[in-house]
Amino acid sequence: MIAILLTKPQTGIVYNITQAVSSVKWSGAYNKACRQLEISYINSKYISVPRIAAGDILSAYDYPSMDEIFYGMIFGTERSSAIGTLTYTAYDPMKHLLESKGQYVFSNITPEAIAQQVCADAQVPVRFLYPTGVNIKSLICNNMTYYDIIMAAYTKAKKILNKTFFAMIYKRGFSVYHAKWFVKGFVLSDRSTIYSSDITENFTSVVNRIQILDDKNKIVGQVQDADSISRFGIFQDTYTQEQGVDPATAAGTKLKTLPDQEIKIDAVGDINCIANYFVPLHDAATGLNSRYFIESDEHTWQNGIHTMSLKLRFDAIMDTKDASEEEEK
C-alpha cells in the first residue's frame, strides 16, 4: 500500500489525499537521475478535495511503515470541468540540477568537492558523496547543467578507478554512490514474484579492442579481450590519452565484451527495486540465474495492488558526461 500527501508550500498545510488518488506510478532510470511520481486524481464537483497547483509538493510513503519513498514538486497542472480523473506528475529535487546551468573552471580538485560546490550553488542539500580521492587537474564546464558538471567530474574518477557511479536524491538529499548496492530481502523468481519475463540480445554495442592514441593520433598501445574476439570477431574503438589518467585503465572502461541483453520483467512490487541497484533473479523460462543491474523501474499501485516493471542488464552502467580539460584558444 502507499499513502500520498499534498503540501501547500505557501501555507504549510498538509493534506492526506490518498483516498482521492485512484492510481500511482513511481519511476526512474539510470540515465534520468530525476525520479518522478504520477498520480491519477479525482476531479469532481461532488467530492471535496484540495485543488492541486503548480509548485505544490507531493510526497509518497510506504504504508504502513510510513517510510518516505518520494518527495517532489509538481511543475505543471491541468484543470477540467469534466468529471473523472486528472493526471499530475511531480519530480524530485534532482530536477533543479538537471534544469539549471552554470559556468565553472575547476583545477586540482576532487569530484566530491565539485559536487559539494555545485549543490551549494543550486541550494540542493547534500546527503552523501562517494569519496573518490581523485585529483582532477583541470575541468572546464561551459554552460553545462549542474547535474552534467557533477557527473563529468565522476566520469573522470571512473576512468581512473574503473568504478561506476550514480547520482540520486535519497531522503531529500543529493547523493553519489558507487553502483554496487543490492536489493535485500527480495528475489525475482518465476516461482513466486515474476508475472512475465522477456529477453533480447544484440551485438551492436560489442567493443572488444581499444587502440590507445597519443595527442598526435599515433597508436601507442591497446587493450583487448581475447575471449570476446575469439567468439565474435574484432569490434574496435579508440581512446586518446588524458593527462593524469592511466591509459590502460581508462581504455579498459570502454570495453564491452558481451552482447547487450535487454531483460524486461513484470513482477510483484518491492519499493527497494529501483534503478542503479542490483537484484537477484532466478527464472527458469529464460535461463537467467544471477544478480542483475536495474536499468529502469516503474512501480504502479492500483486497487490496492503493487506491481512493477523492470528493465535489467547484467553489468552496471553509468550516465557518463564529458567536459573540457583546457580552454579553447
Higher pLDDT, 327 or 244: 244
Share above pLDDT 70 across residues of the chain, in percent, rounded to a whole number: 97
Can you tell me the mean pLDDT for 204-220?
Answer: 91
Alpha-carbon distance of 299 to 296, in angstroms, equals: 10
79: pLDDT strictly greater than 90: no
Domain definitions of the chain by residue range: 2-92, 99-178, 180-204+259-317, 206-253
Residue 297: predicted pLDDT? 98
Task: Kindly report the CATH number that applies to the domain delimited by 2-92.
Answer: 2.30.300.10
Residues 6+ apart with CB under 8 A from 225: 208, 209, 255, 257
The string of pLDDT tens digits covering residues 80-94 is 666 778 899 999 999
CB-based contact 242:250 (threshold 8 Å): yes
CB-based contact 259:203 (threshold 8 Å): yes
Q: Around Cβ 215, how many Cβ atoms within 10 Å?
A: 9
Fold of 99-178: Phage tail protein beta-alpha-beta fold (3.55.50)
Mean confidence (pLDDT) of the chain:
92
CB-based contact 244:149 (threshold 8 Å): no
CB-based contact 156:133 (threshold 8 Å): no
Q: Around Cβ 58, how many Cβ atoms within 10 Å?
A: 27
Length of the chain: 329
CA 261 vs. chain centroid, Å, equals: 18
Task: Kindly report the CATH number that applies to the domain delimited by 180-204+259-317.
Answer: 2.40.30.150
